[in-house]
């Protein structure tokens, strides 16, 4: 059983409604949540709503066969029978105006999954039917099996829009969510506020769940999921597994560093790594490990707190100076710099990181390794994404591991600043899009 919850555009309330549905159905079912696209934030809501780690599905990162492998793998790990997939932006929005790569429709096709459209119905009645009809006609391969209306003014508005859609498009309307400020969520510059920052988020999710239960026909939704057709049996491995020597990898995991794809950690474990969490915020030194992985997050918001933990900053720099493998992404990259907005950081690299008002990098990325390094070999091409509001001021002495073929990088289409066995990059990698990531990192850790 599976369903794709897809928006008709932006600002349709897709995440709150999707999370509410996941929470409501989790009371009597095991739900495996998924998110389309390179997103770390929405999945934290899904995870709190279901108790299961949300997984990302992305056709820029994965082939169709890998999408199916990722889906079945997650369903098996969580022992779930229902997969609920929250889409990204509008159903058909991807990296090109005509293709499917990177959009929600590509995931629905790969999984032969029925789609429920979530539409902002404010001021719409008959025009809502035109929107649904257009979405259905654009790609007949997409199985749009239902509609959820959001921002409904009242029962009269809902019934009129429902009649228009069902009569003119032969598509059931399975619910209408009333206009309410309680269904909005605070925004931050990287999107929805991460779940770990909101102590009362479970209260929000409970409220969303109640609204869903009161306004959406969940039995009809389950019937639609139950009638989904078969999925192609063609599947493909997500990542390389070559390292057999046991190693320990320390992973920065706390309220500051939270941006990790679950698959990246599992790929490390598949390559004989024991993942050991540590906190750059709370701990005084790095754990006894063979390699470090510092992912993304919000170090700029907690720069003052990180600066105060001098013992940890010195421990991280010593790890680097000892020549042990250290890989950092985005927020982790900034943590390895000399400073963030003049707050002193670890100083692994002697360059300042400065926050800006405008986004500096927001793109899918294609990168090519210019040098052998701890996550890739010279000539390897891999994919990722970048999303940051900061700049790194480098000099002519900086050495870079990656040429950025698509995207921006640190400077002059280069990224992956490197020294000794350390690589720090704005590129967020996914194990399926950089299949040698875990194998190479653990191999370097084992060799050291």
Write out the catalytic residue numbers. Answer: 330
Handedness of CA 370, 372, 374, 376 (dihedral sign): positive
For residue 395, the Cα-to-chain-centroid distance in whole angstroms is: 32
Backbone angles phi, psi at 289, to 5 degrees: -135, 170
Helices 14-26 and 201-215, axial angle in degrees (round to 10): 80
- Residue 88 near residue 39, CB atoms below 8 Å: yes
For residue 409, give Cα distances in angstroms to 329, 330, 333, 433.
12, 10, 12, 17
Nearest to 56 by CA among 110, 107, 114, 109: 107
Pairing label, strands 400-406, 361-369:
antiparallel
């Amino acid at each position: 059983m599976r369903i794709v919850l897809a928006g008709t555009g932006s600002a349709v309330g897709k995440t709150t409604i999707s999370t509410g549905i996941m929470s409501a159905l989790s009371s009597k079912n095991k739900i495996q949540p998924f998110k389309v696209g390179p997103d770390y934030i929405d999945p934290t809501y899904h995870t709190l709503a279901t108790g299961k780690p949300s997984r990302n599905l992305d056709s820029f990162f994965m082939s169709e066969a890998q999408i199916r492998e990722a889906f079945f793998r997650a369903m098996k790990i969580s022992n779930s029978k229902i997969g609920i997939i929250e889409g990204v932006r509008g159903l058909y929005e991807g990296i090109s105006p005509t293709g499917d790569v990177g959009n929600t429709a590509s995931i629905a096709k790969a999984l032969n999954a029925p789609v429920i459209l979530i539409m902002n119905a404010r001021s719409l009645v008959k025009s809502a039917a035109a929107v649904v009809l257009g979405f259905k006609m654009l790609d007949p391969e997409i199985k749009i099996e239902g509609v959820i209306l959001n921002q409904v003014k009242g029962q009269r508005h809902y019934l009129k829009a429902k009649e228009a859609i069902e009569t003119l498009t032969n598509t059931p309307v399975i619910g209408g969510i009333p206009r309410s400020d309680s269904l909005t969520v605070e925004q931050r510059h990287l999107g929805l506020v991460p779940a770990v920052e909101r102590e009362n988020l479970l209260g929000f999710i409970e409220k969303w769940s109640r609204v869903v239960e009161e306004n959406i026909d969940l039995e009809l939704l389950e019937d639609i999921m139950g009638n989904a057709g078969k999925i192609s049996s063609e599947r493909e491995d997500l990542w390389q597994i070559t390292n057999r020597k046991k190693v320990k990898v320390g992973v920065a995991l706390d309220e500051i560093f939270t941006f990790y794809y679950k698959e990246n950690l599992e790929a490390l474990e598949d390559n004989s790594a024991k993942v050991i969490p540590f906190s750059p915020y709370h701990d005084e030194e790095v754990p006894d490990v063979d390699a470090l992985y510092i992912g993304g997050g919000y170090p700029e918001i907690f720069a003052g707190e990180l600066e105060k933990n001098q013992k940890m900053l010195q421990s991280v720099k010593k790890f680097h100076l000892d020549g042990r493998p250290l890989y950092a992404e985005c927020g982790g990259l900034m943590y390895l710099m000399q400073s963030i907005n003049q707050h002193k950081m670890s100083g692994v690299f002697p360059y300042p990181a400065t926050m800006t008002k405008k986004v500096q990098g927001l793109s899918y990325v294609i990168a090519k390794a210019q040098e052998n390094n701890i996550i890739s070999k010279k000539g390897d091409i891999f994919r990722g994404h970048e999303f940051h509001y900061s700049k790194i001021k480098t000099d002519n002495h900086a050495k870079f591991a990656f040429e950025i073929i698509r995207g921006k990088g640190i400077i002059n289409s280069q990224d992956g600043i490197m020294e000794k066995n350390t690589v720090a990059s704005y590129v967020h990698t996914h194990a399926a899009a950089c299949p040698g990531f875990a194998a190479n990192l653990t191999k370097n850790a084992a060799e050291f």
